[in-house]
Amino acid sequence: MGLFDWVFGQFIDVIEWTDNSHDTMVYRFPRHNNEIKYGAKLTVRESQMAIFVNEGVIADVLGPGIYELETKNLPVMTSLEHWDHAFNSPFKAEVYFVNTKRFTDLKWGTKNPIMVRDPEFSMVRLRAFGTYEIRITDPKQFMNEIVGTDNHFTVDEIDEQLTNLIVSKFTTILGESNIPVLDLASNYEKFSEYISEKIAPYFGEYGLHLTKILVENISLPENVEKALDSRSSREITGDLDENIKYQTGKALGSDNGGSMGDMIGMGAGIAMGQTMVDSLNKKDIDKNTPPPIPERNSTMYYIALDDEQEGPFDIRTVQLFINEKKIKKNTLIWTEGLQDWVEAYSILEKYFNTTPPPLPKI
């Protein structure tokens, strides 16, 4: 190593950082054992901030601009390094560049379904995913809480922690929203704003600002989605019977259903054939079935026996009395519709005519 190499290696007079990685949040300038020259130039570009760390303590935080590292620009460093004596010797300090641009298209999603109560479906399990954006707003707090002494801190190192934070708070927010599952899709934008408002304070604890969070999809389990599809199909056809006919006709008329479609069509055809056979059998059974038993005569009769009113009796009992000679032709009888008592023979003639004649004398 030549003398000039040693000199340039010892004294750093230009400190700057350009980044093309798109995911670096904090970068430590590679000083190694080199000393920063008093009066060196520090360039902090837009969307950057520079942090000076001296003996493990954050000394200064500088925004965009070009700085000449001397007493008037570093008041905190002045007290730490005793620059108030204005000596021009080099000093050793760590310089961290903090990327303050917005980091976009960061993914979040539920690892497991979230169980929530729903006004229409009682209890359902939901999955959700989307994207979010963040920005470093408090470099000092971000360094203290997250980065530590990491010399190259990227989004990947904190992404999982932030995702877990979003999901844990999202579960609570979803449960408190009381928005029906079927209405969530029409409220994604409002729901995203509501989530941002509720979760942003937790990001602030890390020195970060949650600039935006988007809900791209909230989905139900596959079996519940199939049930909803089936319900939608029924409501489109209007009537359950019509829906069955529609599904059967669709299965029979499928040209490209393959073997599964053929089996479904065959099953539907057999079902329809069986329905027709049952219908024909029912008609045959109806032809061979005797007609229903006619209603019994409900007319009731009162009779006068030994000057006493007895009854009411139905017609079968009256006929029995006629056969037993208890009721004779001149026995008085009355039934509904008659104005007065009449002789039995006048209204029951046919029952008297069926009485067999007396046995002949031997």
Task: Tell me the pLDDT of the chain (362 aa) as tens digits.
Answer: 444 444 444 456 788 999 888 899 999 988 655 567 777 888 999 999 999 887 778 888 999 998 887 655 555 454 444 444 444 445 677 889 999 999 999 999 988 888 878 777 777 888 888 999 999 999 999 999 999 888 899 999 999 999 988 888 887 877 777 777 777 777 788 778 888 888 889 999 999 999 999 888 888 777 777 777 776 666 655 555 666 666 666 665 555 545 555 555 555 555 565 666 566 565 555 555 665 555 455 688 899 888 888 888 888 888 888 888 888 888 999 998 888 899 988 888 888 876 566 666 66
pTM comes to 0.56
- In a domain, residue 291? The reply is no
Token pair 């000449």 is found at 68
What whole-number distance in Å separates Cα of residue 169 and Cα of residue 172? 5
Shared domain check, 249 and 234: yes
Shared domain check, 53 and 144: no
| Burial per residue of 135-173, b for 16 or more beta-carbon CB atoms within 10 angstroms, e otherwise | bbebbeebbeebbeeeeebbbeebbeebbebbbeebbeb
Helix (H, G, I), strand (E, B) or coil at 97: strand
Domain hosting residue 202, numbered range: 103-220
Strands 308-313 and 24-28: unpaired
What whole-number distance in Å separates Cα of residue 98 and Cα of residue 137? 10
Shared domain check, 135 and 95: no
What whole-number distance in Å separates Cα of residue 233 and Cα of residue 228? 9
**The total number of structural domains that make up the chain:** 4
Shared domain check, 161 and 118: yes
